[in-house]
Chain A
Amino acid sequence: MVKAEGVHKRFGRLEVLKGVDLEVRRGEVMVMLGPSGSGKSTFLRCINHLEKINAGRLSVDGELVGYRESGGKLHELHEREVARKRAQIGFLFQHFNLFPHMTALENVALAPIRVAGIGRDEAGRRARDLLARVGLADKLETYPVALSGGQQQRVAIARALAMQPKLMLFDEPTSALDPELVGEVLDVMRQLARDGMTMIVVTHEMGFAREVADQVVFMDEGFVVESGSPGQVLAHPRHERTQAFLSKVL
C-alpha cells in the first residue's frame, strides 16, 4: 500500500529524512517510534504530499505521490489531482485541527459534500452514523470548543473516515490529550485496525504498539534504525539506539 525507497526531505539546509526505506502492505498497521525530531511526522506528511520529497521514490497503492511518470521523466501532478489523491488518505493530527466554526456534524459532512460531491442528506446521514460509531451520537450540534480533547480527536477520526480512505495516517494522535482521555481514542483506533484499515501510526503508546501493530519501525535522525514485528523490536531490540530509547519510554 505504501512503499518508500530512499526518501530524502530537506527544509532549507536541514536534512530531516536521509533515505527512508519501508513498506506497508494492505490491511497492515505500522507503528513508528522514535525521539522527537527523528523525522516520523515529516515522513507522514510526505505520504500525504503535505510536504514534497527531495529525492527517492514514494508511492501509495502503486502510484507515485505527487508525480506522474512517463517516458522516464517525472511530471508534477496538477493541484486538482493531488487533492483527489489526498482525499483517499485520512490524516489525523496531534492537535486535531477540527474546523472551529463548524459543528461536529458539519466538520464530518463538509468534505463528502464539497469534495466527493455527495448530496447533503446522504452526507448528513453518513456523518451521523460515523459520529455514532466513535461514540459521539449526542454531540452532533456541538462546536469543537465545547468538546474535550478526546472527543475532538474522535470527531477528527470520523471526519477522516467520511471520505472512505484506503489508508489512514496518525501523527501522535494522543500526545495532546489528558492521560485519562487517551484510552477512548486508542479504543476507536483499535476498532479501525480490527476492521482491516491500513494504518501508519506515529505514537509513544507502547501498549498500543505491542497489541495492535503488525510492524514496528524505530526511526532516529532521519533513518529507519530498525524494523520488525513488535515482539522483535520492542522486546529484543538489536540496535543500541533502539535499546536506549526503549529503556527510557518503557
Chain B
Amino acid sequence: MGRPDEIKAVPVRRPGRWIAAAIVLLLAAAAISSIVSAKGFQWHVVGQYLFDSRILHGALTTIYLTFLCMVIGIVLGVLAAVMRLSPNPIVSGASWLYIWFFRGTPLLVQVLFWYNIAALFPTISLGIPFGPSFVHEPANSLVTPLVAALLSLGLNEGAYMSEIVRAGIISVDEGQTDAAQSLGMTRLQIMRLIVLPQAMRVIIPPTGNETISMLKNTSLLYVASYTELLYSAAQIYDVNYQVIPLLIVASIWYLVMTSVLYVGQYFIERRFGRGFSRAEQVSIRARWIGFGHREGAGGPA
C-alpha cells in the first residue's frame, strides 16, 4: 500500500473578510484624499521646511537627548530596582521613596522645577554631607539647560525603568539563583551573570516603549526653550505664522525616528531571546508573508 494522496480541499469562502477589507480601504482613501486636498495643511510649505537646517538640528538634538536620558534612566532604574530588592530596609525604603516621588508628580512639573532650580538653591555645593565641600558654584552655572534637561527626563525615567527592571528580576525562576549559589557564585555575580541577562527578555519590550515615549517626551523641554525638534519648529512658525505645516514637519520627523526605534527593538529582542525558543527565529519577511494564516504557524513555546 502506498502513501495516501495529499489532501487537496476547496478552501472555505470568507466573504466577510473581503467586505471588511473593502470598507477599511474606502475609509482610508477618503481620509487620505481629505488630508491631501485640504488647504490648511499647506503641503508645499511642509516640503519647504522638511529638510530645513534648523529642523534637522532640532531632530538631532532630540535624538541625543533621548539617548542620554535613556542611558541615565536605565542605569538609575537598575540601581533602584536592585536597591528595592535589598534586604536592608533603609536601602529599599530610599528606592521606594525615589520611585514614589518621581512617578507621582507630572513630568512637565519636574521639567519646570529643574529649570528654576536656582530659585530654590541659589548656590550648589558638592562634597561630604555636613563636611567639607569641593565644589561651590551658583546653581545657574552648574545646572545648565542641558544638565536640567538630562536631570528632569533622566530622573523621571529611572523611576519607571526601576519598576520594569524589578518585574524582570522577579520573573527569573528562583531555581536559577539556587543553582548559581550552589556553584559558589556571590550575590553580585549571580545578579550580573545569571539573573539580569535572563530578566532582559522581560525588560526589553517595555524599555522599547519607554524609549519611544522618551523621544516624544523631549518635546516637553519646549517649555524651557530648549531647542529640540518641537521648539525648533516653533521658532520658525513664530516668525512666519505657518503653524500647521511646521507641526506636520515635526510630526513627520517624530514618526521617522520612532519607526527606526521599532526596527531596533526587533533586533534587540531577538538577541536576548537566545535559548528560549526551540523554533528557528522567524524573519520579518516570513512574518509578513505568514500574516494571513498565523494560527497555523505557531509562536515560540
Whether B178 pairs with A93 at a CB distance below 8 angstroms is yes
Chain A window 95-129, contacts with chain B (Cβ cutoff 8 Å), 1 for yes, 0 for no: 10111111100000011001110000000000000
Whether B175 pairs with A89 at a CB distance below 8 angstroms is no
Cβ–Cβ < 8 Å partners of B180 in chain A: 99
Scan residues 153-170 of chain A and give those whose CB is less than 8 A from a CB of chain B: 156, 159-160, 163
A-B CB pair tally, cutoff 8 Å: 79
Q: Does A144 contact B (CB under 8 A)?
A: yes
Q: Does A133 contact B (CB under 8 A)?
A: no
Whether B185 pairs with A114 at a CB distance below 8 angstroms is yes
CA distance A116 to B183 in the complex (A): 10
Cβ–Cβ < 8 Å partners of B178 in chain A: 50, 91, 93, 97
Q: Does A79 contact B (CB under 8 A)?
A: yes
Whether B275 pairs with A111 at a CB distance below 8 angstroms is no
Chain B window 196-239, contacts with chain A (Cβ cutoff 8 Å), 1 for yes, 0 for no: 01100000000000000000000000000000000000000000
Whether A101 pairs with B197 at a CB distance below 8 angstroms is yes
Output the nearest chain B residue to A89 by Cβ-Cβ distance.
B182
Chain A window 51-93, contacts with chain B (Cβ cutoff 8 Å), 1 for yes, 0 for no: 0000000000000000000000000000110011111111101
Scan residues 132-165 of chain A and give those whose CB is less than 8 A from a CB of chain B: 143-146, 156, 159-160, 163
Whether B274 pairs with A110 at a CB distance below 8 angstroms is no
Instruction: Choose one: B175, B193, B274, B275; the contact of A97 (CB below 8 Å).
Output: B175
Q: Does B277 contact A (CB under 8 A)?
A: yes
Cβ–Cβ < 8 Å partners of A159 in chain B: 183
Whether B278 pairs with A110 at a CB distance below 8 angstroms is no
Whether A87 pairs with B183 at a CB distance below 8 angstroms is yes
Q: Does A48 contact B (CB under 8 A)?
A: yes
Whether B185 pairs with A111 at a CB distance below 8 angstroms is yes
Whether A79 pairs with B183 at a CB distance below 8 angstroms is no
Q: Does B189 contact A (CB under 8 A)?
A: yes
Whether B182 pairs with A114 at a CB distance below 8 angstroms is no
Q: How many residues does chain A have at the interface if contact means C-beta atoms less than 8 Å apart? A: 35
B199 CB to closest chain A CB, in angstroms? Answer: 10
Scan residues 178-203 of chain A and give those whose CB is less than 8 A from a CB of chain B: none
Whether A102 pairs with B275 at a CB distance below 8 angstroms is yes
CA distance A93 to B182 in the complex (A): 10
CA distance A50 to B197 in the complex (A): 23
Whether A97 pairs with B184 at a CB distance below 8 angstroms is no
B69 CB to closest chain A CB, in angstroms? Answer: 28
Whether B184 pairs with A110 at a CB distance below 8 angstroms is no
Cβ–Cβ < 8 Å partners of A111 in chain B: 183-185
Whether B183 pairs with A86 at a CB distance below 8 angstroms is yes
CA distance A48 to B183 in the complex (A): 10
A116 CB to closest chain B CB, in angstroms? Answer: 8
Whether B181 pairs with A145 at a CB distance below 8 angstroms is no
A234 CB to closest chain B CB, in angstroms? Answer: 29
Using A100-B276, A101-B197 as known contacts, say yes or no to A115 and B183 having CB atoms under 8 A apart. Answer: yes
Output the nearest chain A residue to B194 by Cβ-Cβ distance.
A99
Q: Does B187 contact A (CB under 8 A)?
A: yes
Cβ–Cβ < 8 Å partners of B183 in chain A: 86-87, 110-111, 115, 159-160, 163
Whether A99 pairs with B179 at a CB distance below 8 angstroms is yes
Chain B window 34-71, contacts with chain A (Cβ cutoff 8 Å), 1 for yes, 0 for no: 00000000000000000000000000000000000000
B175 CB to closest chain A CB, in angstroms? Answer: 4
Output the nearest chain B residue to A142 by Cβ-Cβ distance.
B275
The residue in A91, A97, A156 that gathers the most chain B C-beta atoms within 10 A of its C-beta is A97
Cβ–Cβ < 8 Å partners of B187 in chain A: 79
Query: What would 16 more interface pairs be, CB under 8 Å, given A95-B175, A100-B275?
Result: A48-B181, A79-B186, A83-B181, A83-B186, A86-B184, A88-B184, A93-B175, A97-B175, A97-B179, A99-B179, A100-B276, A101-B274, A103-B275, A115-B189, A143-B275, A144-B275
Measured CB to CB, the residues of A under 8 A from B are: 48, 50, 79-80, 83-91, 93, 95, 97-103, 110-111, 114-116, 143-146, 156, 159-160, 163
- Which 9 interchain pairs have the tightest Cβ spacing? A87-B184, A91-B182, A97-B179, A143-B275, A111-B183, A97-B175, A115-B184, A100-B275, A101-B275
